[in-house]
Structure 1
Amino acid sequence: MGYFLTADGGTESLRARLYDLTGNCLGSAAVPYETRFSAGARAEQNPEDWWRAFVEASRRTISEADVEPAAIEAITLATTSCTVVALDREGKALRPAIIWMDVRASDEADAVLATGDEALISNGAGRGPVSAEWMIPKALWIARNEPEIFEEAHTICEYQDFMTLRLTGERAASLNNVTLRWHYQTDRGGWARTLVEKLGLSALLDKWPQRVVAPGEVVGTLSPAAAQELGLSTRVKLVQGGADALIGMIGLGVAKPGQLALITGSSHLQFGVTESAVHAPGVWGTYRDCVYPNRYIVEGGQTSTGSIIAWLGRLMNGTMDLDELNRKAAALEPGCDGLLVQDHFQGNRTPYTDALSRGAIVGLTLAHEPHHIFRAIMEGIGFGTRAILDAMAEAGYRGSEITVGGGAGASELWLQIHADTAGLPVCVPASRDAPSVGAAVLAAHGAGYFASIDEGISAMVRPGKRIEPRPREAALYDGIYQQYRALYPALKSLRDRGGEPR
C-alpha cells in the first residue's frame, strides 16, 4: 500500500494531507502564514513562511495518520498560481513574493497586450485581457521598478517552483503554470520568446527555470537537507503538481472532453476539457497539455460570487442565518418575485472582460425581504455562469455536465439553481478537497501505481451526488436569463453616458 503526502498552498495557509491508494485521507494539518498588504493593491508573502508551514504541517499530518514515514513514496503540491518570487543563486528570496492577488503591474499588463504578439492568442484570441496578476507583467514590474533585484535574480519563478527547488535542489517549472499564466505553448515552440523580446525583457528567459515538468511526472527525489527536515527518506519522489484550481480539476474527476469544473469560493472559475483548440473573445485559453496530455483546457471566470453573499451578510450586520435564508429562499419561485441581480460587483472577468462593470439589483419593492435578495444573488451568479458557458459554446466548446468544487457544494439550493439556470447536470464528488485529492492522484501516478492520470482518477476520486436540472424551472429561467443578458448593455450604456438620463 503506497502513501502520498500532498500540500495545498493557499493564500492564507498551507494544508498538508496524507492519502492512500484508494483516495482515503488519513491525516491533515494546516499552518497559516502572513500576507502583508500595502497601498497600490499590493500583497506580499515571505517564501520562507511557505517552507516553514510545509514542514510543520507535514510532520503533524504524518503523526496524525500514524503511518511510518518510510512508507511515504511521493509528494505533490498544488499552490497558488501567479505568485512570483525572485531568488539568488542559493535559492534565497531577494524580496518578498508578489502574490497572485497583487495587481501593481497593471501598466505592465497593458504593455504586454500592446505587443500584439502571437503568444497572446490564449487571451481572448489576442484581444485580451492580460492580467496584472500574471508572470510576465510582474517580472516586467520588477525590471522597471527594482532593476537591481532583477539584475541580481538568478531565478524568477512561482511558489510551486520555489518549493520544488527547496525540496529537491532542481530548478524546474510546472508545465501547468507556465502554460496557464506564462504564455508557454507546447504546440508553438515553448517559451514566448518574441513577446519578452518586444518588452525589452530578454534577460528573463535565462532567469526562468529551463526544465519544464508536466503534472504527474517525477521532478526528482528529496535532497538530504529536505529529507532531514521532513523526517522522510531521500528516496521519496517529488511528483509535479501545479496551480491549485487546475490540480483541483483532477480531484473533481474532470478529465473527459465535455466535462466542466466549476471551482467556487469568493469567485467562480470555469474550466472545460476539450480535444481541440478554442480561441475566441470572451473566453481564455485554450491551454494545451496544461493538465492532461494532448487535451486542452478552456477557461472562464466570475470575479465576485460567494463574496456577494458575504457582502449581504455584512449589510445584515451579522444577523444572517444561512439555514433560515436557504429554507425561505428555496420556497420561492424562480425570479424571486421580480428581482434580478447582475453579479459584476467587482467587474466582469468573462465573457465581457469589463473591469468597470458593476453589480445591480433590479426590481426591488417594499415587499421584498432578505431571503428574496439572497436567492436573487444566487440566480444572478448562476446566470453569470451560463453566460460564460454560452460564450464557450459560441467559440466551439459545449459542456455536457458541471462538476462543482468549493463552498457552493455545501448548499443544495445553490447547486440546484446552477443546474436549472445552466440546463446541465451538476455533480459533486464525495470529497470537496479537490486540489489535495488531485495532488494525491498525481503522486500515485508519478510513483508508478497508475499508468495515466485518468486511471488514477478512476481509482481515487469517489463519486458523490448528481443534481439534474428540473424542466419546469429550467424553462422559467430561460426567460429570466434573457432579461439578465439585457442588463449589461443597458447599464453599460448608462455608464458610457456618465449616468445621465436621456
Structure 2
Amino acid sequence: MSGVDGSGERYVVGIDYGTLSGRALVVRVRDGAEVGSAAHEYRHGVIEDALPDGGPALPPGWALQDPQDYRDVLRHAVPAALADAGVQPSRVVGIGIDFTACTVLPTLADGTPLCELPELRRRPHAWVKLWKHHAAQPHADRINAVAHERREPWIGRYGGKISAEWQFAKGLQLLEEDPEVYRRAERFIEAADWLVWQLCGAETRNVCTAGYKGIRQDGQYPSAEYLAALNPDFVDFVTKLDGPLLPLGERAGALSAQAAEWTGLPAGIAVAVGNVDAHVTAASAQALTPGRLVVVMGTSTCHILNGEQPAEVPGMCGVVDGGISPGAWGYEAGQSGVGDIFGWFVAHAAPAGLDSHERLTELAAAQPVGAHGLIALDWWNGNRSLLVNHDLSGLIVGLTLATRPPDVYRALLESTAFGTRMIIEAFVAAGVPVTDLVVTGGLTANRLLMQIYADVTNRPLSIIGSAQGPALGSAIHAAVAAGAYPTIHEASAAMGRVQEGVYQPDPRNVRAYDALYAQYRALHDHFGRGGDDVMLRLRAIRNAAVATGAQADSVLEAIG
C-alpha cells in the first residue's frame, strides 16, 4: 500500500493492538482513504508457559504480555507506515489507538509497569494480563455470587455475570495470590489507557473500558461495602482504577516530545482517548445505527450493537451509556474462541495434505447442510456469552468411523455461527432489535463461513470495506479528537466504508440449520446450564494434576 502526499491533505494514524502484533494505519482525513500501513509483531507474543529470561513457570489458564512490546510497535510500525504512505509527518494531525480488552496491567503512580521493576520482574502478577488470561475464574465466580447475594444494582447490566477476563476478577486474583504486588500497584490500568498515557504523558481512562471491563455504571464503581464483602483488603481497588474519565472521540492530550521521537510524528498533535478494538470498529463499519450488529471476527469474536434504551440482557458482557458512541447505549457480547478453534484443528488435528484452511474449506463447501452428521460446541476457549464460564470446554457429537477432517472442520465453523445466533436471540428476547450483521476481521475472506453465518442467523450480512477495521476506527476517532469532524457519526459517514448485503440467507439452508441449531441449543443448555457439569469436573482434575504433578486418580480422590 502506498500513497502520495497531496497538497493540503491532512492525515491521521490509527494503531490497532492485537493479541500477537500491533498495526499502524495512515488514513486521509477527507475520505478515509488508507494510504499506508505497517505491522510489528510482539517479541514475546503471548506468555503462557513461563516468564521470559528463565522466569518461573505459569499455572494453567495464564496469559501475560510484556508492555515493552507495545512501545516497540510505536517505534517500528508508525515510521514504517508513514514511509509506506509517502506522507510527510507534518501532514499528520492526530493519532488514536485501540486494544484488545480486558488487557490490564499494574503500575506505579507515574505509569511505570511493575514488571519493569527489577525486584518484581520474576513475579507473574506484576506483568500485563492479556484478555484471554482465564485463571481468575474462581474470583469471578465469587464476584458474581456476592453481587447477587447483596442484590447489587449493576449486576444486571452485565447479563448477571462478570467475566473472569474483566478488571475486577483479575484485580481480586492479584490481591489474593500476591498481596505484595497488589500493594505496590498504585494504578491498575487498561493497556489502551496506558498506551495513551505513554503517548501524551497524561493519565486518562476511557468510558468504554471503564464501563464494560471496570463495572462503572451510572457514574460510579461498586461500593466499598461490596468490595469489603469480597475481601476487606480489596476496598481500595477502585482507587487504583480512578483517573480522569473521558468520552470516546475526545482529545486525551498532545503527543509528547518523547512519543514524537518514538513515532516520527510531530509533537503536539492530538492524541485520542483510548478504545477497544471491537468497539472502535463500529465507526469504520458505518454501523453506529441501532440494530446493526458488528461481528468482529478473529481469534475470538466480539459482538457490538448500539441500542436506543438500556436493557438487561442475560449473559451479555455489558450495556454502557456511550460505550460505543455518544448518545446511544452500547451493548457487547462475545465468543472466547473462533479463529483460534479453526487454527487449532488445522495445526493439531488435520492430517498432512489437509492441514490448510483453504483445502478444508473447499471440501467442506461441497457438502449439503447436515451431511456430516455432527454438532460441535464452540467452547474450546471457554464461553464468554451467554454462559460466562471459561472452565467450559469444546465438544463434538456424532463422530463415527466415516467422519473425515472436512466434516469436523465444517462442524466447527457452524458451531461458532450457532453461538452467535444464541447471542442474537438473547438480544431480541430482551427487546434489543438486531436487523442485520456487519462482519469485520480476517475471517471475512472465508466465503463459506460468511454464508454459514447468514444462513444460521437468517439475516443479511454486510462486509466492512476495510481490511483494517479497528485501525481505521482508531484513525476516525483521531480525526474527531483533532477537530477535523465535530462528531464520531459525521467522521464515520465520511471515513468509514461497508459493502452492503454481500451475503443473503438461502431459505433452504435456513430451514436445515434451524434443525441443527435446535440440537446445538439442547447441548448448550445441558452442558452449560447444569444438566451435567462433566466439563467443569474434567477441568478441575486437569488443573490439579498439572499443579501438583499427581496422577489423575489421586487428584480425583482429593477433589472428591
Fold-level similarity (TM above 0.5)? yes
CA shift digits 1:352-386 (9 cap, x unpaired): 34545443333344444332332222222222211
- Determine the structure 2 residue equivalent to 1:134: 166
Question: Cα gap change, 1:364/1:114 in structure 2, threshold over 3 Å: closer, same or farther?
Answer: closer
Q: Which amino acid aligns with 2:135?
A: R
CA shift digits 1:283-310 (9 cap, x unpaired): 3322221111121222322233223322
Question: Cα gap change, 1:451/1:92 in structure 2, threshold over 3 Å: closer, same or farther?
Answer: same
Q: CA deviation at 1:219?
A: 0.7
SS at match of 1:449: coil
Q: CA deviation at 1:178?
A: 0.5
Given the alignment, which residue of 199, 216, 221 partners 1:191?
A: 221
SS at match of 1:89: coil
Q: Is the 8 A contact 2:163 2:388 kept in 1?
A: no
Question: Cα gap change, 1:138/1:212 in structure 2, threshold over 3 Å: closer, same or farther?
Answer: same
Q: Is the 8 A contact 2:293 2:303 kept in 1?
A: yes
TM-score computed with the length of structure 2 as normaliser: 0.82
Q: Which amino acid aligns with 1:107?
A: P
Map residues 197-208 of structure 1 onto 2, 5 A cutoff.
197-199=228-230, 200=232, 201-208=234-241
CA distance in 1, matches of 2:392, 2:258: 51
Q: Is the 8 A contact 1:278 1:298 kept in 2?
A: no
Aligned length: 494
TM-score computed with the length of structure 1 as normaliser: 0.91
- Determine the structure 2 residue equivalent to 1:317: 351
- Determine the structure 1 residue equivalent to 2:71: 51
SS at match of 2:532: helix
Question: Cα gap change, 1:459/1:152 in structure 2, threshold over 3 Å: closer, same or farther?
Answer: same
- Determine the structure 1 residue equivalent to 2:138: 107
Q: CA deviation at 1:489?
A: 4.1
Given the alignment, which residue of 26, 29, 32 partners 2:35?
A: 26
Q: CA deviation at 1:189?
A: 2.5
Q: CA deviation at 1:164?
A: 1.7
Map residues 168-317 of structure 1 onto 2, 5 A cutoff.
168-185=200-217, 188-194=218-224, 195-199=226-230, 200=232, 201-313=234-346, 314-317=348-351
- Determine the structure 1 residue equivalent to 2:407: 372
Question: Cα gap change, 1:226/1:337 in structure 2, threshold over 3 Å: closer, same or farther?
Answer: closer
Map residues 470-489 of structure 1 onto 2, 5 A cutoff.
470-489=506-525
- Determine the structure 1 residue equivalent to 2:504: 468
- Determine the structure 2 residue equivalent to 1:423: 458
CA distance in 2, matches of 1:484, 1:410: 25
CA distance in 2, matches of 1:292, 1:233: 28
Which of 143-152 and 159-168 deviates more? 143-152
- Determine the structure 2 residue equivalent to 1:151: 183
Q: Is the 8 A contact 1:172 1:209 kept in 2?
A: no
CA distance in 2, matches of 1:356, 1:82: 18
Which of 220-229 and 447-456 deviates more? 220-229
Q: Which runs of 5+ in 2 are unaligned?
A: 1-8, 51-57, 116-126, 538-560
Q: CA deviation at 1:80?
A: 2.0
Q: Is the 8 A contact 1:336 1:376 kept in 2?
A: no
| Identical-residue share of aligned pairs (%) | 29
- Determine the structure 1 residue equivalent to 2:82: 62
CA distance in 2, matches of 1:417, 1:365: 23
CA shift digits 1:384-432 (9 cap, x unpaired): 2112211121111121001111232011111111101100001102213
- Determine the structure 2 residue equivalent to 1:13: 21
CA shift digits 1:325-370 (9 cap, x unpaired): 3333223221125333333334433223454544333334444433
Q: Which runs of 5+ in 1 are unaligned?
A: none
Q: Is the 8 A contact 1:420 1:473 kept in 2?
A: yes
Q: Which amino acid aligns with 1:106?
A: Q
CA distance in 2, matches of 1:497, 1:175: 39
SS at match of 1:42: coil
Q: Which amino acid aligns with 1:334?
A: V
Map residues 403-414 of structure 1 onto 2, 5 A cutoff.
403-414=438-449
Q: Is the 8 A contact 1:19 1:25 kept in 2?
A: yes
Question: Cα gap change, 1:496/1:140 in structure 2, threshold over 3 Å: closer, same or farther?
Answer: closer
Given the alignment, which residue of 419, 425, 429 partners 1:394?
A: 429
Question: Cα gap change, 1:232/1:312 in structure 2, threshold over 3 Å: closer, same or farther?
Answer: closer
Question: Cα gap change, 1:479/1:198 in structure 2, threshold over 3 Å: closer, same or farther?
Answer: same
- Determine the structure 2 residue equivalent to 1:345: 380
Q: Which amino acid aligns with 1:28?
A: S
CA shift digits 1:46-85 (9 cap, x unpaired): 3233113212211222222221111110010001222222
CA distance in 1, matches of 2:182, 2:516: 52
CA distance in 2, matches of 1:190, 1:339: 47
Question: Cα gap change, 1:99/1:227 in structure 2, threshold over 3 Å: closer, same or farther?
Answer: same
SS at match of 2:180: helix
CA distance in 1, matches of 2:168, 2:389: 21
Which of 85-94 and 394-403 deviates more? 85-94
- Determine the structure 2 residue equivalent to 1:92: 112
Q: CA deviation at 1:445?
A: 1.5
SS at match of 2:326: coil
SS at match of 1:118: coil
Q: 1:495 and 2:532 equivalent?
A: yes
